[in-house]
A and B are shown apart, each in its own frame.
Chain A
Amino acid sequence: MKSDAELVKVLGAQPPASISALPPETLARLAEQIGAAKKQQRADMEKSVQEAIAGVPFAVRGIVRKALLG
């Protein structure tokens, strides 16, 4: 397995060659940090969405809910 495989997977793209050439432990740490940020980002987004829906004035709650939840 190529040492940048995990990073490619979490990134969904091939990083620049100079990054792919970094030592395996650096690539693994970057992949882990990006993966963690993705999880955190999703969680924050859901929290923001729920707070927004609960917090907006009733008159616009419907359209906000529709925009945020699709």
Chain B
Amino acid sequence: MSPQVGRIARLLRLDPSDIRGLEGIPDADLRAFHDQISKTLFADAQQRFARIAGLSRTIPGPLAGVLAERFLPPVMAARTAEMLEPAKARDLIGRVSIPYLAEIALALDPVRSRPVVQQLPAEPIGQVAKELFGRKEYATMAEFVGTVTVEALFAALHAASPHDLLAVVPLLEWNDNLDTVIAELPAAQVTQIATSLDAGELADLALALDPSRMGPIVAAVPVETVAGIAAALFERGEYAGMARFVGVVTPDMLKGALAVASAADLLAVVPLLEWTPAIDAVVDDLPDGVLDDLFAEVASGADWEAAKVAFERLSSTAQERLFARFDRLSAANQKRIRAAAVGGELGAAAADLMATAPA
């Protein structure tokens, strides 16, 4: 279910399951529909909200905070907050409880509230984020990435546990602030993410994050966990997702990742890799058994075009090692490879090597 349906349900004070029939409606339309409902619900009260916001100028701050929390339901407080003078909002935010602020945050409109929210101090926003992470309100939080300042975003993400990050990251719309915050996550938090999430969860995070953003986290992942992440990604057939990470992993990590690849995985992923000497070194070092499996996979798969692309990516050392083991293939597979290589379907290098292969 789209998070927007949850927002509509909250506005109508219904359970999300009561909002039926909106499956398949684009999020942008649901957001527009939410705003239309919000407008119609509060149309009659706009003047009153403006007057309540004006009250904050005449009532002392401490009293205004107490009165708001006692008499103003969060949904109405949110409409009023959008009309507050930023300086007043900054004063009031410290005078109400965090759970009340969290309820208001859930009812705020990320666009209309931006001028006010941008003026709020980072610390209470971090506390509200902690409260909302605790309630798993990831979708609503994600909508505020473009609303808050970079300092507030720091405070909010600092409050996130590794599992919170795992849940919220795929929902985020990336902007420069977010790039800055992710790039500068404290080392302790990065280590916590890298060591608290299991391999499958780190695989999810890897698919949700751009490698350049994931780089510091990858660097903190234990080498032995990399094999688990790779296994999870190979199992899901996420070859392109994996290939993106070649530039940010160490040779040891690459070795660990390729060690868990089946021959079919290798054939699928090799053409997608941005080739480097480090990859050559790892591939050159693949055990003989892996090369035998790879050769057999090429022969039985008979996808010569894909095999040619993969083969031509290999170093001459790896190519020679492969053909030096030609006689390990079954008779049927030898026949297929020979026909393909001689026919030029595996490329010029394969045709040359075929001539020297052991019969």
The answer to whether A and B belong to the same complex is yes
Interface residue ranges, A against B (CB under 8 Å): 10-13, 15-19, 22-23, 25-26, 29-30, 33-34, 36-38, 40-42, 44-45, 48-49, 51-52, 55-57, 60, 63-64, 66-68, 70
- Complex contact A19–B29 (CB within 8 A): yes
Knowing that A15-B32, A18-B29, A52-B67 are A-B contacts, what are 10 other residue pairs whose CB atoms are under 8 Å apart, sorted by A's residue number? A12-B39, A22-B22, A33-B14, A33-B19, A37-B12, A41-B45, A42-B44, A44-B73, A56-B71, A64-B55
Set B22, B51, B58: member contacting A70, Cβ < 8 A: B51
DSSP class of B's interface residues: helix, strand, loop or mixed? Answer: helix
Complex Cα gap A66–B55 (Å): 10
- Complex contact B42–A70 (CB within 8 A): no
- Complex contact B63–A60 (CB within 8 A): yes
Number of A-B contacts (CB under 8 A): 100
Chain B residue at minimum C-beta to C-beta distance from A45: B45
- Complex contact A38–B63 (CB within 8 A): no
For this complex, 23 residue pairs linking A to B, each with C-beta atoms less than 8 Å apart, are A10-B40, A11-B36, A11-B37, A16-B25, A16-B29, A16-B33, A17-B29, A18-B26, A19-B29, A22-B21, A22-B22, A25-B21, A26-B21, A33-B14, A37-B14, A42-B44, A45-B76, A51-B71, A52-B67, A57-B63, A67-B51, A68-B52, A70-B51
- Complex contact A13–B21 (CB within 8 A): no
Given contacts A22-B21, A51-B71, contact A33 B12 (CB under 8 A): yes
Given contacts A41-B42, A67-B52, contact A26 B20 (CB under 8 A): yes
- Complex contact B21–A34 (CB within 8 A): no
- Complex contact A38–B41 (CB within 8 A): yes
Q: Which residues of A have CB within 8 Å of B55? A: 63-64, 67
